Amino acid sequence: MTDALVIGAGPAGLMAAEVLGKAGLSVLVADAMPSVGRKFLMAGKSGLNLTKMEPIEQFLDAYGDAPKVMRNAVAAFGPQDVSDWAEGLGQPVFTGSTGRLFPTVMKASPLLRAWIGRLTDLGVDLKTRWRWTGWEGRAARFDTPEGPQEIIPKVTILALGGASWARLGSDGSWAQFLPDAVAPFAPANMGFVVDWSEHMARHFGTPVKSAMLSAGHTNSRGEFVISERGIEGGGIYSLSKPLREGARLTVDLLPDWSEDRVRAALAKPRGKASLSNHLRKVLRLDPVRISLLSEFGRPFPDDLAPLIKALPIQHAGPRPMDEAISTAGGVRFDALTDGLMLRDRPGVFCAGEMLDWEAPTGGYLITGCLATGVLAGASAVDYVVGKNTH
């Protein structure tokens, strides 16, 4: 009999397998895709941001209203632990100017290869193209290249991802097997649709840097990008929850200037200069900011200063969920014990993006997946040896 079955070979599943393997359990990891860690590899294409090196109290703020069990998991396996883990795999890391931690090589593939090597040394058995099709009594059923298979382990960890990026394996189809435990999925860390006028086409692909975006009671100082389909980028992603819930989006085009300073600059003699040239000269607004002001600010009021400090951005809602970097919804925490075990299915634990939490990009997502993988793995070990898993 296999001691431990892990379904899903992303960061959460692989981390749970590592914990289980180090505890001396026999571990089988099954993944539906032809290779493991596909979304992890995609995340590393532009530089694998593993975590953010900041005080844990500040780090936990990024998880918003996540329940105590989630926050405790991240506090127990936080930024320094992620850094130590990566270096323990022989992958040097460095901290960027904003505190974000990256492997020195920037890519995800060397880290993943080293990780798979460690798991292999621990005796972990990795199966690909094994698609979970639910349970038959205590047995987990799979469609595999060799035909249907059933596994009856002592413990099972589900790490099946959310409901975005289906082509990489996260399609949320697993929810049908946990109907009483799942909150509806919703996009997170996603772009928003904007029906641009023609004059904005020249700015497609242009970043708007160092702006202050606001939605509800949440502010985000950062960068966003004008795309053909709308607006996207880190500055927008961190506001995805309030925007998804209907909050109004505004952007401060000059966050380092007070409204009075803006007003005083605008009052300088304009002469024969066009308004665009006047804005460029006295406020040092770049062309994309001037275009945004024209797009969303007309007809211009007599006093432009409040508009420049809080320009309303009109959008038509989020891009489709499958385009989102992550998702909200998934397995509710009230359906789980503090050890991430399903209350109505003893011996089955959940981890990673399939849990109902969300956090912005910038290392928080990967850290959350790794941390819940550690907790689920440790809780599963306790269950096997007869300890209380809460």
Q: Kindly give the pairing relationship between strand 4-7 and strand 155-158.
A: parallel
In a domain? residue 53: yes
* CA distances, 303 to each of 236, 292, 307, 312 (Å): 27, 17, 8, 15
Pull the structure tokens for residue 139.
């047995």
In a domain? residue 202: yes
Say whether both 116 and 45 belong to one domain.
Answer: yes
**pLDDT of 147 above 90:** yes
pLDDT of the residue at 44: 74
Say whether both 164 and 204 belong to one domain.
Answer: no
Q: Which H, E and C letters describe the chain, residue by residue?
A: CCCEEEECCCHHHHHHHHHHHHCCCCEEEEECCCCCCHHHHHHCCCCCCCEECCCHHHHHHCCCCCCHHHHHHHHHCCHHHHHHHHHHCCCCEEECCCCEEEECCCCCHHHHHHHHHHHHHCCCEEEECCEEEEEECCEEEEECCCCCEEECCCEEEECCCCCCCHHHCCCCHHHHHCCCCEEEEEEECCCEECCCCHHHHHHCCEEEEEEEEEECCEEEEEEEEEECCEEECHHHHCCHHHHHCCCCEEEECCCCCCHHHHHHHHCCCCCCCCHHHHHHHHHCCCHHHHHHHHHHHCCCCCCCHHHHHCEECCCCCECCHHHCCEEEEEECHHHECCCCEECCCCCEEECHHHECCCCCCCCHHHHHHHHHHHHHHHHHHHHHCCCCCC
**pLDDT of 172 above 90:** yes
Domain C-terminal end among 263, 279, 312: 312
Say whether both 222 and 270 belong to one domain.
Answer: yes
Domain that holds residue 259: 192-312
Say whether both 166 and 238 belong to one domain.
Answer: no
Q: Tell me the pLDDT band of 6, cut-offs 50, 70 and 90.
A: very high
Q: Are 101 and 363 in contact (CB under 8 A)?
A: yes
The predicted-structure confidence for 32-57, as pLDDT tens digits, reads as follows 999 999 999 988 777 899 999 999 99
Say whether both 34 and 177 belong to one domain.
Answer: yes
In a domain? residue 93: yes
The predicted-structure confidence for 215-247, as pLDDT tens digits, reads as follows 999 999 989 999 999 999 999 999 999 999 999
Q: Tell me the pLDDT band of 165, cut-offs 50, 70 and 90.
A: confident
Q: Rounded mean pLDDT of 180-186?
A: 96
Comparing CA positions, the residue from 43, 39, 18 lying closest to residue 114 is 18
pLDDT of the residue at 359: 93
- CATH code for the domain of 331: 3.50.50.60
pLDDT of the residue at 386: 85
The count of domains in the chain is 2
Domain C-terminal end among 282, 312, 342: 312
pLDDT of the residue at 390: 61
Say whether both 107 and 155 belong to one domain.
Answer: yes
Mean pLDDT (the chain) is 95
pLDDT of the residue at 114: 97
pLDDT of the residue at 9: 97
The predicted-structure confidence for 79-130, as pLDDT tens digits, reads as follows 999 999 999 999 999 999 999 999 999 999 999 999 999 999 999 999 999 9
Q: Tell me the pLDDT band of 295, cut-offs 50, 70 and 90.
A: very high
The whole-angstrom separation of Cα 78 and Cα 366 is 11
Domain C-terminal end among 249, 280, 312: 312
Say whether both 303 and 234 belong to one domain.
Answer: yes
Say whether both 250 and 365 belong to one domain.
Answer: no
Q: Tell me the pLDDT band of 388, cut-offs 50, 70 and 90.
A: low
The whole-angstrom separation of Cα 122 and Cα 302 is 70
**pLDDT of 389 above 70:** no
Comparing CA positions, the residue from 154, 171, 151, 153 lying closest to residue 162 is 171
Say whether both 166 and 226 belong to one domain.
Answer: no
Give the side-chain half-sphere CA count within 13 A for 295: 23
pLDDT of the residue at 327: 95
In a domain? residue 389: no
Say whether both 218 and 268 belong to one domain.
Answer: yes
What is the pTM assigned to this prediction?
Answer: 0.92
In a domain? residue 318: no
Say whether both 169 and 258 belong to one domain.
Answer: no
Say whether both 173 and 288 belong to one domain.
Answer: no
In a domain? residue 358: yes
**169 vs 59, higher pLDDT:** 59
pLDDT of the residue at 46: 78
The predicted-structure confidence for 349-384, as pLDDT tens digits, reads as follows 999 999 999 999 999 999 999 999 999 999 999 999
| pLDDT > 70 in the chain, percent | 99
The whole-angstrom separation of Cα 227 and Cα 233 is 10
In a domain? residue 319: no
Give the distance from CA 280 to its chain's centroid: 36
Pull the structure tokens for residue 253.
């085009």
| pLDDT > 90 in the chain, percent | 91
In a domain? residue 356: yes
